[in-house]
Structure 1
Amino acid sequence: MIFRKKTKQQAGFSLCGLLLLTLSFSDLSTAATADDIQSIGESKTALAEGLIIQKIGLTQALAKALEQNPRLTQYPMYLRQYDLKKLIASRKPAWELSVAAENILGSGEFSDIDSAEISVMVQRLFESADKAEKRTQLVDSELQLEQQSYQSLKLEVLADTRRNYFQLQKLQLLEAWAKDNLEQQLAALKTVQRLAKAGAINQADKHKMRLQVEASQSLKKNIQAELSVQSMRLQGLWSGVDTSETELADGGQWRVELLAELPKAPSKADILSGLDSAPDYLVASAKSRVAQSAWQLSNSLQQLDFNVGVGLRRFQSSRDQALLFEFSIPLQQAQRAKADIKLSHSDWQIKQAEQAQLRWQLQQRLLLLRQSLLNDQAQMSRIKTQLLPEAQNYQSAAKLAYEAGQYTLLQWLDAQVEVADIKRQLIEIQGDYWNKWIELERLIGRSTAN
């Protein structure tokens, strides 16, 4: 056998497979007393009383998430800020007006304003090396990064929606599996109670089977409780944290439409062809472009800017006027800019190296996911074509051996456990397969289903 070692949780699932005695006692089955069955639990429909079930398909769930997810609805507000940032970055330095008054309110001949010299001047800083254009390019690069991050976030929300959708599907399959086992156990319990009453088996076997039925009943309730929690998780992807006003707030639950067909693992060539368009790689590429634009802007800082001003000066004592001209440039501007240039260039080189490293990591991760999908496909194929048929043959042979008195009750029940465990294992592998496939598509950024 190739079964994994059972954990405590898996052992609980195994209890559901015990005592599937309907086939072996079908010819002897009669109705048990109402008092005996009443103690096992309520009727099968008790948990569903007052519960509103609403079906939802995968396409509908994805559409709801895209339209109403709080993380996505807030994102356009961040994008609109870049229109203002671009406007501010493209502005050239403004003209400045200055007024100066000299030789006033002093002493002697400067005690009044008769000897004053009043200057009025307008001046402006003139930038060189297209600094305004480079600032605009930097904002454009930041906007592209924000847009790419938004696209990546959309894909992440879609992936979260699909993960929760298929987790809900897995729980629904487990619920159906648990209900089927419980129904068979309840029918088998009637037969065992009949045999115990007739003295064909001892009372210990009857109590053991009652215990197993109680365990299966508890397991079914636990699965249904988890279904309720998972329904809230799925709904939370489009309704936010506050679910008081949502469409299923009054005790309702989502149920998904089951997708039985599993997509096949994509080819290696298909995966490698999508590396350059992978969302994470595109985000890293956008970060590299931002760093490059910042380096180009800092590189332009070494080009000298100059300040030019013109104005008039009035000599109050002679009532004469004179034209003023002012010109200034900062000293050592290129020397001061070298540190910023080196820092921004180093940051760009780091971003390029991170981009190349990320591409390699994505390639390895995608290939590992693909290989894991192929392994799961092979394992599910072995279960369906080899293990499950062989376990069912073992179950049938054990039934005949028990009827012939060659097997004990516990030996026959062990065969039932094998069949139940294999069916549960198949459901678990299918759930893992969906999760890996969703992650692979999220990393590639497009559908790979055949």
Structure 2
Amino acid sequence: MPISLRAALMAAALVTAFPALAEPITLETAIERAIASQPRLAAAEARVDAAEARTRQANVGPNPQVSLEVEDFAGSGPFRGLDSTQTTLALSQQLEIGGQRSARRSVAASEREVAALALLRERIDLVRDVELAFAELAAATDQATLARDNAAQAASLANTARILVEAGRDPPLRQLRAEAALAEARAAEVETFSLMLAARRNLAVLVGSDDPELTAAVGTPPQPRPTNDPAFIGIDERLAEAERRVAAARVTLAQSAAVPDVTVSGGLRRFNDGRDTALVAGVSLPIPIRDRNRGGIEAARAEQTAAEFQAERVRAEARRDRAQAQMLVEAAETRLAALEGPGLAQAEEAVRLAQIGYNAGRFSLLELLDAQGALTTARRSIIEARLDRARAIAALNRAYAREEN
């Protein structure tokens, strides 16, 4: 299919798509639907459930053991047959005397805290991702609308140039220039339309929607969170600190595993020859001359050291990210205010005057195209600045996110 025909069809699709859009979705609704439908949150919640189950299991001690022993049978002499058989029924119990159970509980509780914080971070990241996708869809829609309007203006201008050339007022070169501008405008229309469709799909995936015409509702832009709390601790820092506590608890668990457990037993023995009975008791204790879990302890301590350095690194990066996000928001707001100032109104007035002058024969086509190009550049810059501001605010809100997310 020729590129001009393809561009025309895509442009027509863009024009007809706008009136048929589904009900726009607000940012708040998009966040609610994403939280309710995202598998990434469901997976994190399942990991929290698993950590809860491990916490309950960590409080369970070893099971008792029952044993039955039969002695002194099927031998020779007086032990022939079953007359001299001795039968012992005993119950034994392993005793954890090295603090293993409390160490297990500590590890499990710390892991449960890590899982809960990981779920919270996943939720915070999802909110940030939805905010970004929402802002990108709004910007892509604005760009597509601008490109559609520019294509319509270029088509009108090309038609005017054709009429003026046929009337002998302008040379044929002016008509060729107008038609080239129209081709560029239609190509930009097709490109922005494709980018808008991709942005729709991205937001639809996040909110769990199959609607191919999902659109972002126009509303109040997101506002940055208050950032005047010098003692604020972010979710990444809290998670890193929780992981450090897990590593410390595992050191204690490894040390407790070096203490041998004692097994006590007691039972009843029956002598067949005289039908007499007697109690039996016993104690067993491993001799720790080979395995003292030294390797396990050393590995746990090394993991603890790594977790401490990781927590220190996360704290430094979090402080940097918060400061950087704050500066980016301020810079984006300053840039947007400058772009939305008198310069935009002046560019719009320049186009109006250039159009009047061109229709009256006082301005050339090139002067009108230059004025229109300047206005388009200004409007695109504003759209990009709004998107940059939204991105900066999303990053800042992520850096200062709290439990209410």
| 2:323 aligned with 1:367 | yes
Q: Deviation string for 1:63-114 (max 9, x for gaps)?
A: 1111122222344333333343233221122211111122222234333122
Q: Which amino acid aligns with 2:29?
A: Q
| 2:225 aligned with 1:256 | no
Q: Could you tell me how far apart the structure 2 residues matched to 1:212 and 1:321 are?
A: 110
Question: 1:174 aligns to what?
Answer: 143
1:412-423 paired onto structure 2 within 5 Å:
412-423=368-379
Q: Deviation string for 1:290-311 (max 9, x for gaps)?
A: 1122222223234442111111
1:151 Cα deviation from its structure 2 partner: 0.8
SS in 1 for 2:325: helix
The percent identity for this pair of structures is: 20
Report which stretch shifted further, 158-167 or 373-382: 373-382
Q: 1:316 aligns with which of 252, 272, 280?
A: 272
Report which stretch shifted further, 43-52 or 295-304: 43-52
Q: 2:31 aligns with which of 36, 59, 62?
A: 62
Question: 1:29 aligns to what?
Answer: none
Report which stretch shifted further, 420-429 or 219-228: 219-228
Report which stretch shifted further, 321-330 or 384-393: 384-393
Question: 1:329 aligns to what?
Answer: 285
Q: Could you tell me how far apart the structure 2 residues matched to 1:92 and 1:335 are?
A: 22
Q: 1:425 aligns with which of 358, 374, 381?
A: 381
Report which stretch shifted further, 82-91 or 419-428: 82-91
Q: Which amino acid aligns with 2:245?
A: R
SS in 1 for 2:67: strand
1:313 Cα deviation from its structure 2 partner: 2.3
| 2:319 aligned with 1:350 | no
Q: 1:435 aligns with which of 380, 386, 391?
A: 391
Q: Deviation string for 1:275-294 (max 9, x for gaps)?
A: x1x12112112211211222
1:50 Cα deviation from its structure 2 partner: 8.8
Q: Is the 8 Å Cα contact of residues 302 and 334 (structure 1) preserved in structure 2?
A: no
Q: Deviation string for 1:130-152 (max 9, x for gaps)?
A: 42232122212111111111111
Aligned length: 397
Question: 1:164 aligns to what?
Answer: 133
1:384 Cα deviation from its structure 2 partner: 3.2
Question: 2:46 aligns to what?
Answer: 77
1:288-299 paired onto structure 2 within 5 Å:
288-299=244-255
1:237-252 paired onto structure 2 within 5 Å:
237-239=206-208, 246=210, 248=211, 252=212
Question: 1:7 aligns to what?
Answer: none
1:445 Cα deviation from its structure 2 partner: 1.3
Q: Deviation string for 1:254-290 (max 9, x for gaps)?
A: 12122464646865x44x443x1x1211211221121
1:181 Cα deviation from its structure 2 partner: 1.9
Q: Is the 8 Å Cα contact of residues 44 and 115 (structure 2) preserved in structure 1?
A: no
Q: Could you tell me how far apart the structure 2 residues matched to 1:397 and 1:231 are?
A: 37
1:398 Cα deviation from its structure 2 partner: 6.9
| 2:261 aligned with 1:305 | yes
Q: Which amino acid aligns with 2:252?
A: Q
Report which stretch shifted further, 128-137 or 435-444: 128-137
Question: Quick one: higher RCO (CA 8 Å, sep 6+), 1 or 2?
Answer: 1
Question: 2:96 aligns to what?
Answer: 127
Q: Deviation string for 1:220-259 (max 9, x for gaps)?
A: 23322332232222121132xxx6xx4x3xxx51121224
Q: Could you tell me how far apart the structure 2 residues matched to 1:376 and 1:162 are?
A: 16
| 2:76 aligned with 1:107 | yes
Question: 2:237 aligns to what?
Answer: 281
1:176 Cα deviation from its structure 2 partner: 2.3
1:321 Cα deviation from its structure 2 partner: 2.8
1:405 Cα deviation from its structure 2 partner: 8.3
| 2:123 aligned with 1:154 | yes
Q: Which amino acid aligns with 1:141?
A: S
Gaps of 5+ in 2: 1-7
Q: Could you tell me how far apart the structure 1 residues matched to 2:272 and 2:182 are?
A: 111
Question: 2:108 aligns to what?
Answer: 139
1:341 Cα deviation from its structure 2 partner: 2.6
Q: Could you tell me how far apart the structure 1 residues matched to 2:300 and 2:12 are?
A: 71
SS in 2 for 1:94: coil
Whichever structure has more helix as a proportion of its residues is: 2
Q: Which amino acid aligns with 1:382?
A: A
Report which stretch shifted further, 353-362 or 65-74: 65-74
Question: 1:8 aligns to what?
Answer: none
Q: Is the 8 Å Cα contact of residues 64 and 238 (structure 1) preserved in structure 2?
A: yes
Q: Which amino acid aligns with 1:258?
A: V
Change (3 A) 1:199 1:291: same
Q: Which amino acid aligns with 1:121?
A: A
Change (3 A) 1:338 1:430: same
Q: Could you tell me how far apart the structure 2 residues matched to 1:261 and 1:121 are?
A: 75
Q: Could you tell me how far apart the structure 1 residues matched to 2:220 and 2:12 are?
A: 29
TM-score, normalising length from structure 2? 0.86
Question: 1:225 aligns to what?
Answer: 194
Q: Could you tell me how far apart the structure 2 residues matched to 1:77 and 1:219 are?
A: 46
Report which stretch shifted further, 225-234 or 138-147: 225-234
Q: Which amino acid aligns with 2:103?
A: K
Q: Could you tell me how far apart the structure 2 residues matched to 1:378 and 1:68 are?
A: 37
Q: Which amino acid aligns with 1:157?
A: L
Q: Which amino acid aligns with 1:107?
A: S
Q: Is the 8 Å Cα contact of residues 142 and 290 (structure 1) preserved in structure 2?
A: yes
Q: Could you tell me how far apart the structure 1 residues matched to 2:334 and 2:11 are?
A: 41
1:333 Cα deviation from its structure 2 partner: 7.2
Q: Which amino acid aligns with 1:357?
A: R
1:49 Cα deviation from its structure 2 partner: 8.4
Q: Which amino acid aligns with 1:314?
A: R
Question: 2:341 aligns to what?
Answer: 385
TM-score, normalising length from structure 1? 0.78
